[in-house]
Structure 1
Amino acid sequence: MNDKWLNWAVKIQSIAQAGLTYSRDPYDKERYEELREIAAEMLAERTDIPTGKIRDLFCNESGYQTPKVDTRAAIFKDGKILLVHENNGTWALPGGWCDVDQSVVSNTLKEVSEETGLTAEAEQLIAVQDWRRHNVQNYVYGILKIFVECRVIGGKFEDNIETTEIRYFGKEELPDKLAVEKTTKEQILMCFQAHEAEHWKVIVD
């Protein structure tokens, strides 16, 4: 859901978490706890998700709140782009959350291996995007999406717990059922543009 009320609630939560992290005044901490609770109630009211679950989602973190990082691989073959078919029936660029012990490139290649069985190497950075500006939102925190063009150097599809198949699609034959919280049609077309450009200028929100 892309909703101003949700964005405001997330912002209030972020301010409250920063206050709880840095404030030394017990009275201020009490106020920040109250702000966090209000943010959780706002989200629960707007989404019909129980307040308790909202608290579990983003009220248990500590430290200064920062966005999560999601890396996506754009792999091409004969002018077509590789998409993975996920267990829920939607299609997306291979990728996922960046693990704490991985760099952007190593995480992208790891996700490719896990979701497709293919071995790849990174070729160029395509874009760094603010998820709130481009994707349907289904999380209560910020996400930075990083798109990397990669080249396959070996491997073949292997059964795994995340995807059921892989397939290459041309620009005019992209599937309708995309996992739009992960990959939109516009983002896929952006990857085509980067692949076809002689000199690509990285897009950064």
Structure 2
Amino acid sequence: MEDKWLAWAKQLQSIAQAGLTYSKDSYDLERFQQIRDMSVEIMSGHTGTEMKLIEELFANETGYATPKVDIRAVIIKDDHILMVRGKMDGRWALPGGWADIGLSPTEVAVKEAKEESGFEVRAIRLLAVHDKKFHPHPPSPYHVYKLFIQCEIIGGQAAIGAETSEVKFFSENDLPEELSIERNTESQIRMAFRLSREKEQVECD
């Protein structure tokens, strides 16, 4: 479960962002900016990250605050799941990334699979929708929904991309130790195997 301080910081940031967007009174705008500054201080104090970086990552958006959407392509072939090693952290994850404006979730899954692994895939069905705060990911400044979309290979071949350094299939009993838990946890990988065998089930939390 998400730490209380992180939940409070996100809530304060959300309140501040909405207030700065919709308020007209100069005194209210000043108060909402103070609330935003407090949320940044909380994040900085608990993570040891410089406030300027927190402001750039955490308090840089305008408009009504909504969750971000992270989409992961689940590609299983011969009881082995496709994973890619990221260049930034050197760890393994399902192909995927943030949802893109103008693309559907399935289009994002197909695009990310091609860019990160070299394989052309077709989206089959939604396996699961997770709220990141209910799973053992590292603390994140954003409220994130994670969509796991099952895909099947229809062409292409394994090839690294701009953000990946290795492409490999893993069996359920031989998963890599160096998982990028910011992107996917071991329990989510095992869930993907399980739900891929349960043809009608979609898991939501």
For normalisation by structure 1, the TM-score amounts to 0.94
State the partner residue of 1:188: 189
CA drift of 1:38 comes to 0.8
Q: Deviations over 1:76-119 (max 9, x none)?
A: 11111111122232111110111112110000100000001110
CA drift of 1:128 comes to 0.8
Kindly report the root-mean-square deviation, in angstroms, between the aligned alpha carbons of the 2 structures.
1.5
Q: Mind listing any 5+ residue stretches in structure 1 that lack a counterpart?
A: none
Determine if the alignment matches structure 1 residue 154 to structure 2 residue 168. no
State the partner residue of 2:9: 9
Work out the percentage of aligned pairs sharing the same amino acid: 44
State the one-letter code of the partner of 2:189.
Answer: I
Separation in 1, partners of 2:112, 2:175: 21
State the one-letter code of the partner of 1:187.
Answer: Q
CA drift of 1:138 comes to 4.5
Query: What pairs with 1:14-163 in structure 2 (closer than 5 Å)?
Result: 14-87=14-87, 88-163=89-164
Separation in 2, partners of 1:187, 1:142: 18
CA drift of 1:203 comes to 1.2
Separation in 1, partners of 2:59, 2:93: 29
Aligned length: 204
- 2:10 aligned counterpart, secondary structure: helix
Separation in 1, partners of 2:86, 2:25: 48
CA drift of 1:188 comes to 0.8
Q: Deviations over 1:108-159 (max 9, x none)?
A: 1000000011100011110111111114235311111000000000001223
Separation in 2, partners of 1:2, 1:50: 22
Runs ≥4 residues deviating over 3 A = none
Comparing 90-99 with 23-32, greater Cα deviation is found at 23-32
CA drift of 1:178 comes to 0.4
Separation in 2, partners of 1:47, 1:130: 21
Contact 1:135 / 1:183 at 8 angstroms: preserved in 2? no
Q: Give the 3 Å change call, closer, same or farther, for CA 170–159 of structure 1 in structure 2.
A: closer
Contact 1:2 / 1:137 at 8 angstroms: preserved in 2? no
Separation in 2, partners of 1:60, 1:170: 41
